[in-house]
Chain A
C-alpha cells in the first residue's frame, strides 16, 4: 500500500512521518500545490508549523490546493490521518469536529506521555495495545469541542499535558475514516529513539487498507 504525506511550507515532521509510514508500506511526499494525490491509499497530514502557524494553527494550510483533494478523498471514504498540526488542519477544514486551543500553561511542551486507547475498533487503532507511550510536542494542543465527539485516545490519568477537554488526545469522525491526534506516533517507531508504540498505528492503517482491498476487490 502507499501512504501520501502532505508537505506544506513550514511542515517539519513530514520526513519523519514518511519514514515511519515507510516501515509498513510505501510512502511519498505530496506538495501543497499538488492537485492530484497520485493514487495513494491513505493520506497523512503531518506535524509542524504550516505557513508558520500564522493567524491560527492550521487556518491557512486548510485552503492549500492539495487540501481540496484531501477533502474529496475523505468524503469518498479514504483514510486521512492528522498528526499535531495535521490534526489542527483537519479541524480547521471541518473534516474533524472541534478545535485546538493554546495550551493552558501557554508554553510549548515536549513530553513522553502515556495514552489510553479508548477505542481500538477503528481503522487507525486496530493493532494497538490498550496503552501507548508516545511524545507530545506542541503549543496549541488543548482540544475543545462544544458537542460530543468520538474519542479514540485519551491522555492517561494525570498526564494531560495541555488542559485538553476530558483528557482528549485523539478523535475520529462519525464515518470512521478521518482521525486526528496531538501526540506524534511517527516519533515512536523505533526502540532506539525511545518507543515503538506509535508503529502500531501505521500498522493499523495498513491492515485496514488491505482489509478493504481484500473485501472490496
Chain B
C-alpha cells in the first residue's frame, strides 16, 4: 500500500522557513496569507500500515519538535 506521511513543525516552535515564505508571498503580490508552515513529505509503499506510527516515532519525525500525520492509500507516484 502507498502511504504518505506529512511532517510539520510542532505548534509553538519557531519555524523560520514558514516565516520566510510568509514574508515572501506578499512581496509577490499575494495578500491575506497567514500561518505558513513548511514541513516534509515522505511517501512510501508499506506491506503493513500498522507499522507506520512506529516508523514516524522512531525515524521519520522527531516527536520532540515535529508532528506527523499519516495518510494511507494514496495514489502511486508515476
Interface, chain A (partner B; CB < 8 A): 55-56, 59-60, 63, 92, 98-99, 101-106, 142, 144, 146, 163
Contacts and interface: CB of A to CB of B under 8 A. Distances in A.
Nearest to A56: B62
> What is the interface of chain A mostly: helix, strand, loop, or mixed?
loop
A103 B20 CA distance: 12
A101 B38 CA distance: 13
Contact of A103 (B16, B59, B62): B16
Interface string B48-78: 0000000000011010110000000000000
Contact of B60 (A55, A101, A102): A55
Nearest to B63: A99
Contacts of B16: 102-106, 163
A101 B74 CA distance: 30
A98 B17 CA distance: 20
A163 B60 CA distance: 25
9 contacts: A55-B40, A59-B62, A99-B65, A101-B13, A102-B17, A106-B20, A142-B14, A144-B13, A144-B64
B75 to A, nearest CB: 23
A2 B50 CA distance: 45
B65 A144 contact: yes
A63 B14 contact: no
B36 to A, nearest CB: 14
A55 B44 CA distance: 14
